Amino acid sequence: MPKTLNVGMVGYGFMARAHSNAWRRVASFFPELEHRPALKAVAARTADKARAFAEVWGYEHVGSDWRRLIERKDIDLVDICVPNRFHKEIAIAAAAAGKWVACEKPLAMNTAEGEAMVAAVERAGVPNLVWYNYRRVPAIALARQLIDEGRIGRPYHYRAQFLQDWTIAPDLPQGGAALWRLDVNAAGSGVTGDLLAHCIDTAMWLNGPITRVIAETETFVKERRHQETGKIQPVGIDDACMVMARFENGAMGLFESTRYARGHKALMTLELNGEAGSLAFDLEDAQWLAFFEYRAPDGRKVDGHTTGWRKIHVTGFEHPYMDRWWVPGLSIGYEHTFIHTIADFLRGVETGAPAEPTFRTALQTQRVCDAVLTSAAAGKWVETGVVG
């Protein structure tokens, strides 16, 4: 018999919308799962917006206090979709109450907070997840499959970018419900925790631990008006970040993240070069994976006259997740990655093999992000403390 999983949502913004859509749709496309998510309650500090959110998505109850939501006996899972500064307190309280916990990325404001969150969920023994959803893009999942099949061989280089342009205007304020990502007290960092964290998580999923980094960051607009105080205040976040990294497997890494790349809205790319082949992906054309095969897994070199980059259209039933959707040739989108994330999470709970990334895994990404900021401040190589 199906088991109802009552979801309590904390927050009502962009990510809460993406998550709510996924909770509502997952059972329709993964009907074999035992659990059937139900949107039970939402809590947010702005009551009228929370009510409007609940009406759109079908939440049964609305409140303004996340503590009351956690206290409810009819809530099984707490989904945290609020600014980073609240992640720790909510997650620890939810775990102590025996709730499953799903937390938007990054895990925390910093490593110390992340460690406390990991300790809380592991002490309580509750299922936990951090929403690094790009692992569930079918083309990126296919990249992982090809790596596991030995088609890249020894890795030499990994490079990634995440480029946006939405904060260039100097009169854009910081803080408040919509622009908390520009407020260091709410976000902890700028593009490092917001954009680079995605790149780091994906990189370590595909290519293993990042052990040391050297970085530079820049804040191009030094002061902005704060929406909550009305005052002109210093900007404490990083607007742009560039990183050189070394992986445990010996590969070299290059990373760039910025919100000042005019013309780019969400250009997220990655490329991995190895002895036997290479892979490349572009989120703006996410249905494709580029693959260069130099040597087959059996050691045979590909004939020279047929060697070259190929584009794999990742829409076939044989590709990750795609057998759950339409027919070959039809692509899916951003919102589907969250559905895949929930499906994997629920399957992990049901089989006893937790889906990644758990809080503990996401803590490793937090360590790398903190090392990036430490390196940028000190101007030297910094060890991340991440090991395989």
In tens, the pLDDT along 247-266 reads 999 999 999 999 999 999 99
In tens, the pLDDT along 96-132 reads 999 999 999 999 999 999 999 999 999 999 999 999 9
Residues of the chain with CATH 3.30.360.10: 136-383
Query: Which CATH code for domain 3-133?
Result: 3.40.50.720
136-383: what fold? Dihydrodipicolinate Reductase; domain 2 (3.30.360)
pLDDT in tens, the chain (388 residues): 799 999 999 999 999 999 999 999 999 999 999 999 999 999 999 989 999 999 999 999 999 999 999 999 999 999 999 999 999 999 999 999 999 999 999 999 999 999 999 999 999 999 999 999 999 999 999 999 999 999 999 999 999 999 999 999 999 999 998 899 999 999 999 999 999 999 999 999 999 999 999 999 999 999 999 999 999 999 999 999 999 999 999 999 999 999 999 999 999 999 999 999 999 999 999 999 999 999 988 889 988 888 899 999 999 999 999 999 999 999 999 999 999 999 999 999 999 999 999 999 999 999 999 999 999 999 999 999 998 8
> What gap in Å lies between CA 310 and CA 312, rounded to an integer?
6
pLDDT of residue 232: 96
Residues of the chain with CATH 3.40.50.720: 3-133
Question: In three state form, how does the secondary structure of the chain look?
Answer: CCEEEEEEEECCCHHHHHHHHHHHHHHHHCCCCCEEEEEEEEECCCHHHHHHHHHHHCCCEEECCHHHHHHCCCCCEEEECCCHHHHHHHHHHHHHCCCEEEECCCCCCCHHHHHHHHHHHHHHCCCEEECCHHHHCHHHHHHHHHHHCCCCCCEEEEEEEEECCCCCCCCCCEEHHHHHHHCHHHHCCCHHHHHHHHHHHHHHHHHCCEEEEEEEEECCCCEEEECCCCCEEECCCCCEEEEEEEECCCCEEEEEEECCCCCCCCEEEEEEEECCEEEEEEHHHCCEEEEEECECCCCCECCHHHCCEEEEECCCCCCCCHHHCCCCCCCCCHHHHHHHHHHHHHHHHHHCCCCCCCHHHHHHHHHHHHHHHHHHHHCCCEECCCCC
